[in-house]
Structure 1
Amino acid sequence: MAASEGAETEKVSEAQNSVIRNDGYEKKCIFCKIVNKEMDTELLHCDEEISCFRDIKPGAPHHYLVVPTRHVGNCKSLTKEHVPLVEKMVEVGKTMLQKNNITDLDDVRFGFHWPPFCSVTHLHLHVLAPASQMGLMSRLFYRLNSYWFITADQLIQRLNSLSETS
Structure 2
Amino acid sequence: MATDAAASQPTLTSDCENDAYDKRCIFCRIAKKETDTELLHSDEETSCFRDIRPGAPHHYLVVPSRHVGNCKSLGKEHVPLVEKLLEVGKAVLEKNGFTDLGDVRFGFHWPPFCSVTHLHLHVLAPASQLGFLSRVVYRLDSYWFITADQLLSRLSSLG
- Relative to the length of structure 1, the TM-score reads 0.84
1:88 correspondence with 2:81 = no
Question: Structure 2: which amino acid aligns with 1:79?
Answer: G
Match of 2:137 in 1: 141
> Which of 56, 60, 66 is the equivalent residue of 2:62?
66
For the aligned residues, what is the CA RMSD?
0.9
Structure 1 runs of 4+ off > 3 angstroms? none
Question: 2:152 matched to 1:156?
Answer: yes
Say yes or no: does 1:101 pair with 2:97: yes
Aligned letter for 2:48? C
CA distance in 2: counterparts of 1:38 and 1:68, whole angstroms: 15
When the two structures are aligned, how many residues end up with a matched partner?
142
Q: What TM-score results when the alignment is normalised by the length of structure 2?
A: 0.87
Residue identity in the other structure for 1:30: I
2:140 corresponds to which letter in structure 1? L
- Aligned pair 1:52/2:52, yes or no? no
Deviation at 1:100, TM superposition (A): 1.1
What fraction of aligned residue pairs are identical, expressed as a percent? 79
Unmatched 5+ residue regions in structure 2? 1-17
The structure whose residues are more often helix, as a share, is 1
Rounded to whole Å, the distance in 2 between the matches of 1:69 and 1:106 is 28
What amino acid is aligned across from residue 61 of structure 1 in structure 2?
A: P
Q: Separation in 2 of the partners of 1:88 and 1:148?
A: 22
- Return the alpha-carbon distance in structure 2 between the equivalents of residues 127 and 104 of structure 1: 13
